[in-house]
Amino acid sequence: MTHEPRVVIALDVSSREQALELARTLRPATDWVKIGLELFTSCGPDMVQELKELDYNVFLDLKLMDIPNTVKKTVSNCMHMGVDMLTLHLLGGEKMITAALEARARQDLKTHSRPILLGVTLLTSLDRSDLPWPESRSLHEVVLDLASRAGKWGLDGVVCSGHEASGIKKSAPEDFCLVTPGIRPGPDLEDQKRAVTPYRAMASGATHLVIGRPVTASVDPLESLMRIRRELSAPF
Ligand code: C5P
């Protein structure tokens, strides 16, 4: 059975005012937003709190990749900020991922959130020509391999493109999150390469769609989001 996925709006802007205006405008149509590197480096951790006050679930997409000790402490700090979802690069390896999971297990949930921890497979802005490893390894194979490690290591899900979601879903645990950026309702891909339509991402089993510019850069962001929602609830 296909479930309607959550829609997560990527607030990729550099000002607090712009982020909050978008968040207020879009709140009738979604309860998830994503803070990425652009917004976090311009507005800092206070942004998490401000978006939580608007009753949003906050996905902090810092795509962590560092030595295990640094990642462990950073995950604790993110939990202290109250984030609901967090990303780590799977290429950071098993020890780094284990350190992140340990940090989550150790925190007091009265003072910290318990975020969904996601592994980033390969960015949706990459294709085969961007990868340094031998031609014999397809990008699809690499993504599936990384996703299966994410499950084995104990993460709650992965970030992948809509092209790989159905392959990952076949061998993933029942409640594994498949979070897909690179969503394009129309033909303009911008810097994304492995893009799919919202409907196709849902049909391939995505649990969360991450959508930025098709909504945030449109003339009428709420109407663009509502159009996507209508596409998602259309019968097969
Ligand atoms: O504007 P657009 O819809 O392309 O935004 C996609 C968002 O998803 C961006 O915030 C980007 O950082 C994020 N993302 C991605 N590919 C990944 C992981 C995250 O595009 N593999």
Q: What's 186's domain CATH number?
A: 3.20.20.70
11-45 residues labelled b (16+ CB within 10 A) or e (exposed): bbbeeeeebbebbebbbebbebbbbbeebbeebee
User: Given this model, what pLDDT does residue 236 score?
Assistant: 45
Instruction: State if residue 86 touches ligand 1 by the CB under 6 angstroms criterion.
Output: no
Distance 206 CA to ligand 1 centre (A): 15
pLDDT confidence band for 136 (50 / 70 / 90): confident
Give domain status of residue 201, yes or no: yes
The residue assigned the tokens 């969360």 is 208
- Backbone phi, then psi, for 215, in 5-degree steps? -105, -55
Q: From the candidates 34, 52, 63, 72, which is the catalytic residue?
A: 63
pLDDT confidence band for 3 (50 / 70 / 90): confident
Give domain status of residue 134, yes or no: yes
- Dihedral over Cα of 125, 131, 135, 138: its sign: negative
Give domain status of residue 1, yes or no: no
Strand partners, 210: 8
Give domain status of residue 51, yes or no: yes
Residue nearest to atom 10 of ligand 1 (CA): 10
The verdict on whether 95 is a catalytic residue reads no
pLDDT confidence band for 107 (50 / 70 / 90): confident
Distance 210 CA to ligand 1 centre (A): 7
Higher pLDDT, 186 or 166: 166
Domain extent at residue 137: 6-232
Structural domain total, the chain: 1
* pLDDT of 62 strictly over 90: yes
Give domain status of residue 157, yes or no: yes
Query: What are the residue ranges of helices labelled H in 27-183?
Result: 37-43, 46-53, 68-81, 94-106, 139-153, 165-171
